[in-house]
């Protein structure tokens, strides 16, 4: 005669929900999430995957590990400053504080003195104009692509956008600017060739159907050799002659020149050279949140701002707050990482090597401590900015197998894998995280 069904021993839902650890978890997680975890553990017990007396322990463990978001913080040890797969620019402390402040009710579109509706994001607009005095007016939208779409829609819908063939680029995830612009109802009028475009090419293309001239910075590649391109200053005279707007898409979001990356165009210089409208991203070299920035001639920026599409691509209060704080706050992490001192990086990397020396399974026999090499390693700007420009630095060279363990460890660490080695670059790692990183490396090297 068989004994009692062990499934009768599975804890009841009410009893599991009454556990102190579960009660605590319900303060930070939704009731649905908690009940899903409880139900999943009970189901595993019913199917024999775990014993009935292990259900409570599994529920408590899974709830302790459960986050309210699926996004995991990652230590960026690649040496790539604006890493698209890691969310591009990390925010400054000032921007994070602004996000928290803006998470509740804020006067994003209200004049508290009069009690009437005000212009949305006025403080952020003023911060942009302070940061880039060459601009007469500013507008913030959802992202860089939205800024370009809004500009070409408002200025050239149903008309032609004259652009060089050498600037018809494809950006991340297979998105092509040609498709993006065509989606606005504008028609592309391609001029020149892939490697050479002349002022006469633009001049011969301008006609009654021209909506604007478009200059795109090909930020994610370089064409070298037998090349020719037309600058904004040259296009200005042509735009004046035919009374058409001149739009420049910079992409990277650099507002002022940076001697470290002299070939990267900036908004101030581009506007002084004669662009009517400049579009850029907020989460690249500017170091702020994802945003599209429009700077330029007051009448044209206002034309964009009042276009019906502007409502569909407008920035939310969190973006506006974080962008303003990025502009008016202290030095941002992107700038610090770009200009990190190579000698200081060498000091930190050597200290990291000392901290993890001896870690690894090969040491359990009592042999000599394993030492890991510090090697020269050039960082990169990333995010389509300054392609090919090396950022001199150093990296800790580890066995290639450590890379997967670092990515899946706690904290998660993303190194660079190259030439059969795992390279840990400290350029984008705050020095305050060095000890945590060392612990993660020791755990990865010691894992079975």
Tell me the pLDDT tens digit for each residue of 10-51: 999 999 999 999 999 999 999 999 999 999 999 999 999 999
CA-based nearest residue to 319, from 293, 355, 349: 293
Buried/exposed code over 85-109 (b: 16+ C-beta within 10 A; e: otherwise): ebebbbbbebbeebbeebeeeeebe
Burial class (CB in 10 A: 0-12, 13-18, 19+), 178: middle
Q: What are the structural domain ranges in the chain?
A: 7-65, 74-83+336-446, 91-330
pLDDT in tens, the chain (448 residues): 455 667 788 999 999 999 999 999 999 999 999 999 999 999 999 999 999 999 999 999 999 988 888 899 999 999 999 999 999 999 999 999 999 999 999 999 999 999 999 999 999 999 999 999 999 999 999 999 999 999 999 999 999 999 998 888 776 666 777 788 888 888 989 998 888 999 999 999 999 999 999 999 876 566 767 778 889 999 999 999 999 999 999 978 899 999 999 989 999 999 999 999 999 999 999 999 999 999 999 999 999 999 999 999 999 999 999 999 999 999 999 999 999 999 999 999 999 999 998 776 444 344 455 779 999 999 999 987 887 889 999 999 999 999 999 999 999 999 999 999 999 999 999 999 999 999 999 999 998 7
pLDDT of residue 367: 47
Q: Which CATH class is domain 91-330?
A: alpha beta
Topology, domain 74-83+336-446: 3.90.1150
Q: Which two tokens stand for residue 193?
A: 């060739």
Q: What is the pLDDT of residue 181?
A: 82
pLDDT at res. 366: 46
Q: What is the pLDDT of residue 173?
A: 61
Burial class (CB in 10 A: 0-12, 13-18, 19+), 5: exposed
Report phi then psi at 431, rounded to 5.
Answer: -60, -30
Helix 298-305 × helix 144-156 angle, to 10°: 100
* Dist. CA 334–CA 212, nearest whole Å: 33
Environment class of 448 (CB within 10 Å of its CB; exposed 0-12, middle 13-18, buried 19+): exposed
Asked if the domains 74-83+336-446 and 91-330 are classified in one and the same CATH topology, the answer is no
pLDDT score of 305: 97
Q: Tokens 């995991």 sit at which residue?
A: 72
301 upstream amide cis, omega within 30 of 0:
no
Tell the burial category of 146 from Cβ atoms under 10 Å away from its Cβ (0-12, 13-18, 19+): buried
Taking the C-alpha atoms of residue 221 and residue 394, their distance in angstroms, rounded to an integer, is 24
Tell me the two tokens of residue 162.
């004259």
| Predicted TM-score of the model (pTM) | 0.89
pLDDT at 225: 72
215 C-beta neighbours (distance < 10 Å), count: 25
Contact 359, 445 (CB under 8 A): yes
């Amino acid at each position: 005669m068989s004994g009692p069904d062990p499934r009768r021993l599975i804890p009841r839902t009410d009893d599991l929900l009454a556990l102190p650890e579960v009660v605590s978890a319900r303060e930070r997680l939704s009731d649905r999430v908690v009940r899903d975890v409880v139900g999943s553990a009970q189901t595993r017990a019913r199917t024999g995957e775990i014993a009935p007396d292990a259900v409570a322990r599994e529920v408590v463990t899974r709830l302790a590990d459960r986050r309210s978001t699926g996004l995991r913080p990652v230590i960026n040890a690649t040496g790539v400053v604006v890493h698209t797969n890691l969310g591009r620019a990390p925010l400054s402390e000032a921007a994070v504080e602004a996000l928290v402040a803006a998470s509740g009710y804020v006067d994003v579109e209200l004049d508290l003195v009069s009690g009437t509706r005000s212009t949305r994001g006025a403080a952020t607009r003023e911060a942009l104009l302070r940061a880039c005095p060459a601009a007469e007016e500013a507008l913030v939208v959802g992202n860089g692509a939205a800024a370009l779409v809004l500009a070409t829609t408002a200025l050239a819908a149903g008309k032609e956008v004259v652009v060089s063939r050498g600037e018809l680029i494809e950006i991340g995830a297979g998105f092509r600017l040609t498709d993006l612009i065509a989606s606005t109802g504008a028609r592309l009028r391609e001029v020149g060739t892939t490697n050479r475009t002349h002022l006469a090419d633009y001049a011969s293309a301008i006609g009654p159907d021209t909506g604007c001239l478009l200059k795109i910075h090909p930020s994610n590649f370089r064409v070298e050799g037998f090349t020719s391109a037309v600058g904004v200053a040259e296009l200005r005279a042509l735009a004046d002659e035919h009374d058409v707007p001149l739009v420049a898409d910079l992409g990277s979001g650099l507002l002022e020149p940076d001697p470290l990356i002299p070939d990267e165009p900036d908004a101030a210089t581009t506007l002084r050279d004669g662009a009517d409208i400049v579009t850029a991203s907020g989460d690249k070299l500017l170091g702020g949140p994802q945003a599209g920035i429009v700077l330029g001639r007051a009448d044209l920026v206002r034309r964009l701002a009042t276009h019906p599409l502007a409502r569909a691509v407008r920035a939310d209060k969190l973006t506006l707050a974080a962008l303003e704080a990025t502009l008016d706050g202290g030095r941002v992490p992107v700038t610090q990482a770009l200009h990190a001192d190579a000698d200081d990086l060498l000091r930190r990397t050597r200290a990291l090597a000392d901290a993890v020396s001896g870690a690894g399974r090969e040491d359990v026999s009592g042999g000599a401590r394993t030492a890991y090499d510090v090697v020269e390693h050039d960082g990169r700007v990333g995010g389509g900015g300054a392609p090919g420009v090396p950022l001199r630095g150093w990296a800790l060279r580890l066995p290639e197998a450590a890379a997967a363990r670092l990515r899946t460890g706690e904290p998660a660490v993303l190194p660079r894998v190259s030439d059969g080695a795992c390279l840990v670059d400290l350029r984008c790692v705050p020095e305050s995280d060095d000890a945590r990183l060392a612990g993660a490396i020791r755990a990865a090297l010691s894992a079975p």
